[in-house]
Amino acid sequence: MAPGEIAASYRRIRAQVPERVRIVVAAKSRTPEEIAEAIEAGADAVGENYVQEAEAARAALGEAAARVEWHMIGHLQRNKVNRALPLFDVVQTVDSARLARTMSERAAQPMCVYVEVNIGAEEKKSGVTPERVEGLLTELSSLSNIRVEGLMTMEPFFEEPEKARPYFQRMNRLFESLRALELPNVSLDVLSMGMTNSYEVAVEEGANMVRIGTAIFGPRPV
């Protein structure tokens, strides 16, 4: 994109999305210069899919990196936990007690996480099935260095965003039912769902966090 277009795209989306909804700028495969333009436009949260890309981006951005919250939005492998903990403020993709236990044992301070839910029960996607979320939350509630503050999902992809609506509705119902459990160390304040192709429908169905990349940065480099 030409200089200034990223900033304009971010501001346009920010003006369109209700203030109650936080935008996480999905920065997979984006350059530090592109991320910096989004930050200058007002972005306050950056999502990365890979530990190594987050390391490179934060190093290149320097002081600007400290102005935003960093979210891990890709699958986190247990062997990358030591590298990930200093980089991210939030890990949105916790889907097992084993991963959370490793994070709790190695974190220097309480770590904010979201539980990833595979709302469409798709074989090739990470996340726990809706039926297993309550059990996982109960396990995580006993970990002293883990604070579960939300749920996250990646809905099945449809060319027509309206077809994703039933999945968002199901996710919101799950979110509200689990909030009522009032488990220790589990607050469930955030429902992270919706991306470039679907965020408008997700917001209508209760999302208060969306993860947007292409609509801000343009098509991802091949």
Domain boundaries, the chain: 5-216
Is a pLDDT exceeding 80 seen at residue 2? no
Average model confidence (pLDDT) for the chain?
96
Report the alpha-carbon distance of residue 207 to residue 18 in Å, rounded: 10
Among 23-32, 54-63, 122-131, the least confident range: 122-131
Is a pLDDT exceeding 80 seen at residue 222? no
Is a pLDDT exceeding 90 seen at residue 210? yes
Positive or negative CA dihedral for 62, 68, 183, 120? negative
Question: Which tens digits make up the pLDDT trace of 54-97?
Answer: 999 999 999 999 999 999 999 999 999 999 999 999 999 999 99
Percent of the chain with pLDDT over 70: 98
- CATH architecture group of domain 5-216: Alpha-Beta Barrel (3.20)
HSE-CB at 150 with a 13 A cutoff on CA atoms is 23
Report the alpha-carbon distance of residue 199 to residue 193 in Å, rounded: 7
Alpha carbon distances (Å) from 185 to 49, 65, 188: 25, 28, 9
Report the alpha-carbon distance of residue 19 to residue 2 in Å, rounded: 27
